[in-house]
Amino acid sequence: MDKNSSITVALGKGRLAKKAMEAFGRIGIPCDEMKDPDTRKLIFENEEMGYRFFLAKGPDVPTYVEYGAADIGIVGEDTILEEARNIYEVLDLAFGKCRMCIAGPAGNEGLMQENSRIRVATKYPRIAKNYFYNEKNRTVEIIKLNGSIELAPIVGLSDVICDIVETGSTLRENGLTVYETVCPLSARMVVNPVSMKMKGEKIDRLIEDWKRVNLEA
């Protein structure tokens, strides 16, 4: 396999990577090495098909793709919106479905109708800022956190959170509820703009195979 035509794929570690690899397997690009649950390896290869896969932290995937360290990325739309990188979004993969929400303590929904300067805790300051400033025309104080966002309103760090809701159980189990939905989300395939030109044929084939096998079932 000519090195120049081999494709490097960056995957967001965790649930999305597992789903994505099942989908690659179905279109004839399996990577058995990756299935070993005990492996600490970060890079995996399917030499025969000319594909290399690596696992990165989700928020770093658009960075690897923008700089061309990966030709393709598989990542949540939340991360794409938050990172705002120079990459092409080519396919909605229809898994990893969830929604970005504004949530807070149950019974306090009235907060959203006021114009007070509320505190919003989030892993997604860009998305939160865009929602409150541009869509709601409301000035808020954004507090950036790195995880367990639901804690913030419970311990009095913030009034509301801007976070992902999938099943809703984290909110429920912590006495919180959705106030407003910012947008629906799902996993996406993203491509480096130069790779799209230089390796277009192979990337187009991947996109077509993916659509036929994984999306038209």
Q: Which of 7, 72, 91, 149 binds ligand PRP (CB under 6 A)?
A: 149
Q: Which of 166, 175, 194, 208 binds ligand PRP (CB under 6 A)?
A: 166
Tokens of residue 103, six digits: 């949530």
Give whichever of 162 and 191 is closer to ligand PRP, judged by the CB atom: 162
| Shortest reach from residue 36's CB to ligand PRP, in Å | 23
Tokens of residue 32, six digits: 């058995």
What is the bridge-based pairing of β-strands 141-144 and 119-122?
parallel
Q: Does 128 bind ligand PRP (CB under 6 A)?
A: no
Q: Compute the 3-state secondary structure of the chain and give helix, strand, coil in percent, each to the nearest 5.
A: 40, 30, 35
Give whichever of 180 and 209 is closer to ligand PRP, judged by the CB atom: 180
Among the listed ranges 69-77, 136-144, 166-174, 204-212, the one in contact with ligand PRP (CB under 6 A) is 166-174
Q: Does 150 bind ligand PRP (CB under 6 A)?
A: yes
Q: Does 186 bind ligand PRP (CB under 6 A)?
A: no
d(CA 202, CA 89): 16
Give whichever of 30 and 105 is closer to ligand PRP, judged by the CB atom: 105
Task: Count Cβ neighbours within 10 Å for each residue of 60-77 and write b for 16 or more, e otherwise.
Answer: bbbbbbbeeebbbbbbbb
Q: Does 147 bind ligand PRP (CB under 6 A)?
A: yes
Q: Which residue is nearest to ligand PRP (CB)?
A: 147
**144: closest CA among 170, 164, 162?**
162
CB 105 within 8 A of CB 184: no
Run of H or E residues at 127: helix 125-129
Binding site for ligand PRP (CB under 6 A): 147-150, 163-170
